[in-house]
Amino acid sequence: MKALPSKILILTMGLLLAMPSLAFSADSTSEALLKELQALKARVTDLEQKLDKAQSDAATAREDAMKARETSGHSLKVSQELSRTKGKETEGILSEAGKRLKLYGAVEVEANWGRMKRSGGGEDSDESDITLATAELFVEAAINKYVTGVIHFLWEEGSTEPVDIDEAFILLGQTDDVPWYLMAGRIYPAVGLFESYFISDPLTQELFETQDSAVEAGYSTDWINVGAGIFNSDVHEFGDDPDNMINTYYARLQLSLPEETVPGLSLTGGVAYINNIAASGFLSEQVPDERLDSLVGGMSVMGAASYNIFSLTAEYITALDEFNAGELDYAGDHKAKPWALDVELAATPWDEWTFAVRYTKADDVFEEFPESVWGAVASWEFLPDTVLSLEYQHGDYTNDDEADTITSQLAIAF
């Protein structure tokens, strides 16, 4: 019985001697675990920052694409956007490759109803349809700081081509430190800018939009944009035969009030000239054999202003001389000096809603287009980058025919 207290005493002393080493072991293990937890927390924080940046970049890309379209139903023309203001960097949606390669685009689905009221006892007619109006994809490659390449793939309902290369060009310069630029390739020479809040194109664009392979040089800053270019139009003079030489040139000047000069106010005005207005897509198809006695020049004047929730745009484009009788198919045996005007007033009372009214007019278009059109449109961005628009237009023709159209559009931009 006396041996028991001795054994207890020995065991107690052994535990006391072991305590420091056990405590040291526990401290070492805790310190190692703490270091691992700190490293893991740093990795999680880094991943969260990268994820936030990726989400922010994707949101910026969608926002830039939607702003570029300005809730209109028109395909974005990159060459015209570059000609309108100083080049803005558009974020892509690719991760690592997005540093050099950017993708953005849009899809538009439309449903429309129209009624043509014939004058002089003619029979009225109705029509309606649902169409995939536009599907487009832009590929933009930053070759280096001063060189950018752009390819624009476009499909439109009724096109004879499965997918068309609408634009493809190389842009040199137009950076913060080099405002001079050279643009070469298939572009839309900016004789008209055709800004619109509507689904339907204005008469100015229907008549005078021009597309060709061209070379353009210019200078672009926040307040001034000036450019000039040349291309070989399909429409030539009879005297050019049998040669086929570069025959069309254009120049434009645009002035803008720099941002924040007057808080909430934006002002832009410009003028452009082209020596061959028949180079436009519509007029070139109306010239028999694509030959004229002499080229007819044209000019455009545009202005845009916005203050707080209101915006006003106006553009006037005209031929500067008459086409001779027989030189335009739609005019028959009459001389013609076509011109067009488009004026639009818009309001954005809420971030998701835009309302606009339009008055557009043309002359010497005979029955090919309405002589005048007025209309209204409402656009609602009910989900991010997803816009639903509803448009009504009424057109009056020179022969007293009348046309009413209602068009709805669901559009996404990415």
Helices (H), 276-405: 281-286
Q: Whole-angstrom Cα distance, residue 155 to residue 166? A: 9
Decide: 185 and 201 in contact? Cβ < 8 Å: no
Q: pLDDT tens digit string along 175-229?
A: 989 999 999 999 998 888 898 999 999 999 999 999 999 999 999 998 999 999 9
Residue segments in the chain with a per-residue pLDDT below the cut of 70: 1-76, 82-99, 160
Cβ-contact 192, 205 below 8 angstroms: yes
The pLDDT of residue 243 is: 84
pLDDT given for residue 36 in this prediction = 57
DSSP string of 355-377?
EEEEEEEEES-TTSS-SEEEEEE
- Centre a 10 Å sphere on the Cβ of residue 159 and count the other Cβ atoms it contains: 10
CATH architecture assignment, domain 106-133+179-413: Beta Barrel (2.40)
Q: Quick one: pLDDT at residue 20?
A: 44
Residues 6+ positions from 33 with CB-CB distance below 8 Å = none
Q: Is the dihedral of CA 169, 170, 176, 178 positive or negative?
A: negative
The alpha carbon dihedral of 159, 139, 68, 213 has a sign of: negative
Q: From CA 391, how far away is CA 165, in angstroms rounded?
A: 29
Each domain of the chain, given as residue ranges in start order, spans 106-133+179-413
Nearest to 276 by CA among 240, 224, 237: 237
**Which pLDDT score is estimated for 121?**
74
Distance separating alpha carbons of residues 138 and 306, to the nearest angstrom:
28
Residue 358 amino acid letter: R
How much is the pLDDT for 11?
Answer: 39
pLDDT at position 291: 94
pLDDT (tens digit per residue) in 285-329: 999 999 999 999 999 999 999 999 999 999 999 999 999 999 999
Return all residues near 314 (Cβ < 8 A) that are at least 6 apart.
302, 303, 304, 341, 342, 343, 344
Residue 127's Cβ-count burial label (10 Å; 0-12, 13-18, 19+) is exposed
Looking at residue 304, its pLDDT comes to 96
Report the distance separating Cα 366 and Cα 357, nearest Å: 25
Residue 363 β-bridge partners: 339
Token output for 228: 């000039």
Which residue in 387, 369, 368, 386 sits closest to 377, CA to CA? Answer: 387
Gap between the Cα atoms of 279 and 110, Å rounded: 29
